Amino acid sequence: MSLFDKIPNNVNLSDDKRLQRALETWQPDFINWWREMGPSGFQEDQVYLRTAISVSNDGWAHYDYVKMPEYRWGIFLTPPEPGRTISFGDHAGQPVWNEVPGELRNVLRRIIVTQADTEPASVEQQRMLGLTAPSLYDLRNLFQVNVEEGRHLWAMVHLLHQFFGRDGREEAEQLLQRRAGNPDTPRILSTFNEATDEWLSFFCFTMFTDRDGKYQLASLAESGFDPLSRATRFMLTEEAFHLFVGETGIDRIVRRSAQLTKMDPNGDARKHGGIDLPTVQKYINYWFSSAVELFGGEISTNAAEFFSTGLKGRYREKEKYQDHAALEGFYSLDVFENGRIQQREVPLRNALNEVLRDEYVSDCERAVRKWNRTIAAEGVGFELKLPSRKFNRKMGIYAGLYFDTDGNPISQEAFEARRDNWLPTPEDRAYVRSLMVPVVEPGKVAHWIAPPAKGIEGTPLDFEYVRGEGVNRLRGNA
């Protein structure tokens, strides 16, 4: 592996001329896409970024200033595990595949394309955020997330090029042609077409939507198709930072909200230029209910097929489960029948989307408990709450039905009557947007969010994380 290869990699790219040529042909299209759809206004700035340069545990990342279009998007797989076998499904115990089994080609390609599509989508959704960054620290973190989502696209395109021939090359091109939120050429999955145009939504997105990424990637890391397993394992090491950005971002917002709540005789943080906690709650309701859709239907034959074929396992399949066939047993699912919620026993393999969603929901609950400790530590009596997964669903068995945030079935009229208490109103969104004025002096942080606990990689908080034309332009406007 050489850092100075045109495409840094640990897959011996230079030994495979055909693959190398395919990727070198795609690379300029990727860069064009990045310049057009990547972060707006900062393409020439120097950003203090980490770059993956190897897969070793001790320091796979290298930190330095780099212009984003010159970021070295590389291809890294975690090293193969000798003698690895398929750990679940109908082929459990057989050696993992290093080539695509013919009969699984279409379904595997679809999984990879779906995963791949989310990566550039998120960059597109976030492209205007730099212009209203609450600090240089946050600006840098946004760009770090963006370049790594770009690298995740590279990781999936590598698999498409290496294993899917011409179809794969066509899919790789189309990944650069769809556009988040464009009604004519939308991204594949729902959430990846929703506006993420202010920072409260950005932190909710990296908290809730990137967290779907963590659980989907972890399921694919169990895959019997070894190159997919190894690619997603490495992606997970980067993903941890995205989740950190989201979880601590919301934590900093609620800390400041609590502080400003205390200052006001009526407990209204908005009077003091903050985001009031009830508004934070509405954004949590909105983004959580959007992100839970990404796990697919509660009862899913696709999920059963992904599992039985050995392509997509459960979260920590190998460590957490004894029965890796999942042929026996049922999942007890809440269904709405005859006007009320009843439990129905669903064969386990058909309920695997719900099994994964359970893992996700409890992880989100953990984060909400943490935010509540922050609020309590500021001496404010307000508790945030994760809404029921049944609330505000557009897909799956709860779609078309109405539930309150506790998951009680209600009428459409009752839902409409309370919608504005539960979900951000146009006025809420306008208010949050009105707070989004850029703060780009080193060490300064916007009023509506508390400063971070510490800088990146031991840097002081007044470190100049981003410098150049884009930042100067914002200073000039300020």
442 touches, from Fe ion, ligand BYC, none (C-beta below 5 to 8 Å by class): none
Q: Which residues contact 377 (CB under 8 A, 6 or more apart)?
A: none
List 194, 210, 212, 428, residue binding Fe ion (CB under 5 A): 210
359 interacts with ligand BYC by CB under 6 A: no
Q: Which residue has tokens 């408990």? A: 369
Q: Phi and psi at residue 430, in whole multiples of 5°?
A: -65, -40
What does the block give as tokens for 105?
Answer: 């080609």
Q: What does the DSSP assignment read for 427-469? A: HHHHHHHHT-----STT---TTSPPPSS-GGG--TT---EESH
Rounded CA separation 376/378 (Å): 5
Nearer to ligand BYC, 198 or 238 (CB): 238
Q: Which two tokens stand for residue 248?
A: 């601590």
With CB under 5 to 8 Å by kind, the binding choice for 293 among Fe ion, ligand BYC, none is: ligand BYC
Helix and strand totals (H; E) in the chain: 14, 5
Minimum distance, C-beta of residue 441 to ligand BYC, in the bound complex (Å): 29
Single out the residue of 178, 211, 242, 389 in contact with Fe ion (rule: CB under 5 A): 242
Task: Tell me the closest approach of the beta carbon of residue 190 to ligand BYC, in angstroms.
Answer: 4
300 near ligand BYC, judged by CB under 6 A: yes
Draw the binding track, 104-143, toward Fe ion (x: CB under 5 A; -: no contact). Answer: ---------------x------------------------
Q: Which of 42, 66, 77, 119 binds ligand BYC (CB under 6 A)?
A: 119
Q: Give yes or no for residue 151 binding Fe ion (CB under 5 A).
A: no
Q: Which is nearer to Fe ion, 126 or 162 (CB)?
A: 126
Strand pairing partners for 46? Answer: 67, 467
Question: Using the rule CB under 6 A, is 186 a contact of ligand BYC?
Answer: no
Tell me the closest approach of the beta carbon of residue 188 to ligand BYC, in angstroms.
6
Task: In whole angstroms, give the CA distance from residue 270 to residue 257.
Answer: 9
Residue 61 per-residue DSSP state: E
Q: Please select the residue that binds ligand BYC; options are 196, 209, 257, 309, rule is CB under 6 A.
A: 209
392 is an interface residue for ligand BYC by CB under 6 A: no
Judged by CB under 6 A, the chain residues 124 through 183 that form the site for ligand BYC are 149
Q: Transcribe 283-325 into DSSP letters.
A: HHHHHHHHHHGGG--SS-HHHHHHHHTTSS--TTHHHH-S-SS
According to CB under 6 A, which one of 10, 46, 51, 115 is a site residue for ligand BYC? 115
Name residues whose C-beta falls within 8 Å of residue 70's C-beta, 6 or more positions apart in sequence.
none
Nearest by Cα to 25 from 118, 160, 180: 160
Using the rule CB under 6 A, which residue among 23, 49, 66, 111 binds ligand BYC? 111
Binding interface with Fe ion (CB under 5 A): 119, 149, 152, 210, 213, 242
Binding interface with ligand BYC (CB under 6 A): 111, 114-115, 118-119, 122, 149, 189-190, 209-210, 212-213, 216, 293-297, 300, 302-303, 312, 353, 395
